[in-house]
Amino acid sequence: MGISNLIFALSLVTAIFLFRRNVLKIKRNIFLGRDVNRSDQSFLRWKTMARVALGQTKMMVKPIAGFLHVIVYAGFVIINIEVLEIIIDGLFGTHRVFSFLGVFYDFLIASFEILALLVLLACVLFFIRRNGLRLKRFAAKEVSGWPKTDANLILVFEVLLMGAFLLMQGADLALQKMGTAYYVEAGSYPVSSYLLFLFEGMSESSVILFERFFWWVHILGIFAFLNYLPYSKHLHIVLAFPNTYYSNLKAKGAFTNMDSVTQEVKLMLDPDADPYATPDPDSSDDIQRFGAKDVTDLNWVQLMNAYSCTECGRCTSECPANQTGKLLSPRKIMMDTRDRLETYGAEIDAGDDQENQRPLLDGYISREELWACTTCNACTDACPINIDPLSIILDMRRYLVMEESAAPNELNMVFTNIENNGAPWQFSAADRLKWKDEL
């Protein structure tokens, strides 16, 4: 094994080790959430995942952006098949180890090149659209600062990766044409053959230097990208799949009953129940809060939703509360949930207790935002990967109502009327038909 193979092996092991460590932390954070059973209807779940995550059908609501996104996504996935060859070559000192595939190899290399060019162009267009067109959903306050930098960084990163790939291919082709030993004649180069002019007049050793330089830039760039993913909204490349698989399959707008409340009601209706009985100390049932005050009161699917959010803002642009100038933005609800969860996880890692931490409610998401929601479901409908910001809003409202009795005055009046009169109005049940006396 040569020194370069050794350096490559070390880089590969380090990249995998760091990535695994970050993935395990994210998994731990997600499972800080409450349990929820989403193992039903597996066929429908696979179908939803294939349609929404793989087929990207909801992206196509905006056809131009949707089409460009499909190119970037397909390019990203397919071109990375080539990484397998690079890894084998890097570890064992071979070159184009799959070239024995003959015509199929030519087809693969040609496809990679065409896709790389398309991805490069799509990323340039996305960059111009994001920074030059001043679209409202990209100019909102919650995506200024780091989220904007993150979005731009990844586009620049993709352009550099694809550029390095094409330049590496071009230098390789030049060396093949020079008949350089080690550079086997294999592959078809519909894009990089136009880059041959760059190497005209260069000595063989200089072209080898170029080819090796871009080979390393390309593969180290991929390792860096892999380890950047867990810190970025681009984690959705991976999480979109489980996120859509475990998405809520119930009819839109159907509220979930809380088990704890159902149990309480059953107990109240049970004539044999002892209201003074002390809870069984050996019972495994946790005493849980009603609703959600912090991230650990949410369920793990909601927390996975937060990690999967692409910050695209499609939910916020459809939100009637946001459109009418209210403080609420469903995208911000998801971003705040992720930020709080990251802080929570970091505190666990540091061994600190959470006592002095800002909880999700009031620390990140204000009551004004929560009560601005009309529960219309437009956000969940618009989300390209089936994220459900409304479920988080509802759970936090439940906490406010059931634990703090802190509903807005108008709602408190309705609750009092329901309690006293069995209806939301201020009239007793006996007066309900009085209106007909006026006829």
* Position 219 contacts ligand SF4 (CB under 6 A): no
87: part of which helix (H) or strand (E)?
A: helix 81-92
d(CA 404, CA 75): 51
Residue 405's identity, in one-letter code, is: S
Query: CB-based burial of residue 429 (10 Å sphere; 0-12 exposed, 13-18 middle, 19+ buried)?
Result: exposed
Total residue count of the chain as it appears in this document: 439
Cβ contacts of 250 within 8 Å, gap of 6 or more: 256
* Position 164 contacts ligand SF4 (CB under 6 A): no
Closest approach of ligand SF4 to the CB of residue 52, in Å? 11
Closest approach of ligand SF4 to the CB of residue 244, in Å? 11
Q: How far is CA 138 from CA 63, 132, 254, in A?
A: 18, 10, 31
How far does the chain reach from its first CA to its final CA, in angstroms? 99
Token code pair at residue 19:
């990535």
Closest approach of ligand SF4 to the CB of residue 369, in Å? 9
Closest approach of ligand SF4 to the CB of residue 383, in Å? 3
Nearer to ligand SF4, 14 or 374 (CB): 374
Site string for ligand SF4, 309-348 (x = CB under 6 A): xxxxxxx--xxxx------x-xx--x--------------
Q: Which of residues 71-90 bind ligand SF4 (CB under 6 A)?
A: none
Closest approach of ligand SF4 to the CB of residue 305, in Å? 7
Three-state DSSP class for residue 351 = coil
Site string for ligand SF4, 376-395 (x = CB under 6 A): xxxx--xx-x-x-xx-----
Applying CB under 6 A, among 375, 412, 426, 428 the residue interacting with ligand SF4 is: 375
| Count of residues that bind ligand SF4 according to CB under 6 A | 28
Nearer to ligand SF4, 108 or 396 (CB): 396
DSSP letter for each residue of 368-427 = HHHHT-----HHHHH-TT---HHHHHHHHHHHHHHTT----HHHHHHHHHHHHHSSSSSS
Q: How far is CA 353 from CA 174, 349, 357, 389, in A?
A: 60, 10, 8, 28
Candidates 71-79, 303-311, 404-412, 417-425: pick the segment binding ligand SF4 (CB under 6 A).
Answer: 303-311
Site string for ligand SF4, 262-301 (x = CB under 6 A): ----------------------------------------
Closest approach of ligand SF4 to the CB of residue 76, in Å? 17
Nearer to ligand SF4, 131 or 375 (CB): 375
d(CA 311, CA 64): 18
Nearer to ligand SF4, 119 or 387 (CB): 387
Q: Tokens 């930020």 label which residue?
A: 339
* Position 239 contacts ligand SF4 (CB under 6 A): no
> Which residues form the interface with ligand SF4 (CB under 6 A)?
309-315, 318-321, 328, 330-331, 334, 373-379, 382-383, 385, 387, 389-390
